[in-house]
A and B are shown apart, each in its own frame.
Chain A
Amino acid sequence: MMLCIIIESYRLKLVVRELTACLWPPKEIYMKFKSVLKILTSIFFISVFFTACATAPKASEPAVVKDTSGAVVEAVKKEPVKIVTTVYYPVKEESYFGDGAKDEYRVFTYNDDGTLLLKEDLYGSDDKLQESIVSNYFSPESGIKKFYGSDGNLKTYEKIILDSDGNILKNEKYDNKDNLQSISTYEYANGLKTNWKVYGSSNNLLSTTDYKYTGKLLTRIESLSPGGEMEEYFVLKYNSNGLLVENTHFNSVGDVEDSKTFEYKGGFLIMEQQHRKNGSVSRKIMYRNDKNGNHVEIVYMDAGDNVQERLVRTYESREEISYEK
């Protein structure tokens, strides 16, 4: 039973990663919001635990336990546990002006079972299409994103290469005449991004960014020139729950350029503040979350608390069923 609980707990962490991945990059944010995930994991764990008892498949069904790469590590003849998890994904994002008037909105279109994002359409307040982003998946390891303008003409496109874990390895950006504009490459170690490089249209290195971790928490980001000189860096601090509370931007000689602070309630991000180099607040972002931790409303305010924009997100969900011992 304990083995079952451990496996479930690990599996649920993966699932919770998927939940949050709709809005954030999966790995870094997973580390940043580890304690949120822990809470969510606990909530799901309880429900799954009971679901497991209630919905276990027939004992005659063989059960196989796999590691994260999918390889069979052991075959046991215990009852498989059915795991039902809810995956949330945004289907609409509406932008409102500070006075409440509706501005543009974005509609996300998925395949029939909601597992593949196929298209993002941006509409103006007059419901006219402004731009479309169409994604095609050639395989789990490669895809292409095409950006279309309001006239339906292709503006730019990106070729994306991923590893087998879904991490982006390379992103090539082209204009509508197939001219290469820029390339971004990424490196990972133990599933964590460690390096981002940007190349120009002639494949010349433009910038290098190194990501450094303390344990699994991203604590320092260094931006380097093509020659390898430090140009600026960021120091990230976390609270005791592993939640990111401060991200400070320094120039090459160590002077603060600006910073961001983050506030949480119940493990969910509720406020982000941007500070100038002298510490004064320049901007605030307020988050309203649903019970599942999805940001359903994001309010952008200036330093005087004047609302500049309000984003309202609508989510749909699907149930993922998996079996574990």
Chain B
Amino acid sequence: MKAEKRLVMKNKSLKLILIITVLFMVASVVSANEVSAVWTRLFRRAVSLTQKSNIMTNIVEQHNRDMIPVLMEALDEQLGNLETTGDVTVRLQTSEYTKMIVKELGRLKANEAAPLIIQIVENVDEPFLKGEGIIALGKIGARQYTNKLNLLLRNLNFNLGDIQDQRKNEIVAYSLVLALERLKQPESYSPLFFASTGWYSSGSGIRAKAGEAMLNIIDDPTEQLMNILLENKAYDIKLAALSAGSKSRASDENKSALAVSALKEGLLASPKNPTEKIQLKSLRVLALNILESSSSKPEEAIPYMSKMLEQYRTERLYDIDEMVDLFEAFGTFPSDESVKAQTEFLAYLTDRKESGRVIDLRISKSSIIAIGNTANPLGFEQLTNVEYSDSWENSVKREARNALGKLNK
């Protein structure tokens, strides 16, 4: 009896499984050809928006490429109706209906629908529908419209519209960021960069998303960032460009090249207010940090780093923290030119010390450690002077001794 029961149960189970699989695939219960044909026919016969919307719901749920022609037909029809909807309820229903079509075309990656979708993007003001169209263009890979989308985002980045339109503009801007990230065209880098530094509220997520998109659309954005760095006067933009470069997947060589340019910019400029002063300092410090961590050590950096030493000597332009960052970078540049600049500075410090001046210990030690880190024997003379000086503190002399031990014989 037990076995009989088990068999009965088994039969029920098998039946249930069949039922489940049927339920699972209820949308595709008949092969796709006649399904798409039937729904296409029904759509063409539908008169009212409600009828069309009901049928379109069925079409969309098929999620089948055979439906692309009827979806395009429906969208084409909607393009002709955009101006004719006055009533709010009808307008809302029309918008929802059109969004459903556009979204499905995007999900189906129907590239052939791009010319219709771009018309929605260009002719519709309603931000959610416009945004859906933009996202769909990204999903279908409509690269032919990259420049149009770039221009749209660039204009939004300027924030020249009415303040009451900002929320609406944020919806569109977010869609543009998503689409441009998907289209992965290098020329989108600049508008995405300015979106990442733009006026958008943090709640909109645009700036963060644009930052992610920048990383995804191009591995090496050095060329684009170099242009931004050199062509923009705002120091916060220069800093953001350098920061983007440091986070990018560019080669160390290119990151260093960008850092050298940023360091040059940071030295040439004169801050007009405390904010700019902080921004410029951040720019120089980030450039030095990049140069320190990069495996590429361009000789072009040394004149600018040396200039910082000189300006410290003459004008005390830089604070101690910044000088420590400078020496940490210098310590990774072992060339003779680099070490000559460093030893000259150490000689200057020793002279001042022996003449009874107070020298900040962090600066003197950082300078000594940096020379030791280069391992270049050109540092021998000045380090020895420190070690045997009667003026330097013992802790400084110990650093000099350690540094001497690191020099190549």
A-side residues, CB < 8 A to B, are 14-15, 17-18, 21-26, 28-29, 57, 61-64, 66, 70, 72, 80, 87, 97-99, 101, 103-104, 115-117, 135, 137, 140-141, 143, 145, 147, 156, 158, 160, 162, 164-168, 171, 173, 175, 181-182, 186, 193, 196, 198, 200-201, 206-207, 209, 211, 221, 223, 231-232, 234, 247, 249, 260, 283, 300, 302, 308-309, 320-323
Contacts and interface: CB of A to CB of B under 8 A. Distances in A.
B22 A22 contact: no
A40 to B, nearest CB: 16
Chain B interface mostly: helix
Contacts of A22: 21, 24-25
Nearest to A14: B14
A310 to B, nearest CB: 10
- Secondary structure call for the A interface: strand
A242 B10 CA distance: 30
Contacts of A103: 139
Given A18-B17, A166-B22, A223-B37, A62 B42 contact: no
A88 B17 CA distance: 12
Nearest to B10: A322
B20 A70 contact: no
Contacts of A21: 18, 21-22, 25
17 contacts: A21-B22, A24-B28, A25-B29, A64-B3, A97-B139, A98-B109, A158-B26, A165-B18, A181-B54, A181-B57, A193-B30, A200-B51, A207-B38, A209-B38, A300-B109, A308-B109, A309-B108
A148 to B, nearest CB: 13
Given A62-B1, A182-B55, A323-B3, A160 B11 contact: no
A47 to B, nearest CB: 19
A323 B34 CA distance: 40
B272 interface: no
A26 B22 contact: yes
Interface residues of B, number: 50
A316 to B, nearest CB: 14
Contacts, number: 177
B10 A147 contact: no
Interface in B82-122: 107-109, 111
B247 interface: no
A108 B4 CA distance: 33
B21 A97 contact: no
Nearest to B45: A206
B320 interface: no
Interface in B1-45: 1-4, 6-8, 10-26, 28-31, 33-34, 37-38, 41-42, 45
A232 B57 CA distance: 23
Nearest to A69: B11
Contacts of A26: 18, 21-22
Contact of B26 (A29, A171, A223, A283): A171
B61 interface: yes
Contacts of B21: 18, 21-22, 26, 166
B51 to A, nearest CB: 7
Q: Which 8 A-B pairs have the closest CB atoms?
A: A21-B21, A166-B19, A166-B18, A181-B54, A70-B11, A64-B4, A61-B3, A322-B10
Contacts of A97: 109, 139, 141, 182
Contacts of B3: 57, 61-64, 80, 323
Given A160-B26, A166-B19, A167-B22, A223 B41 contact: yes
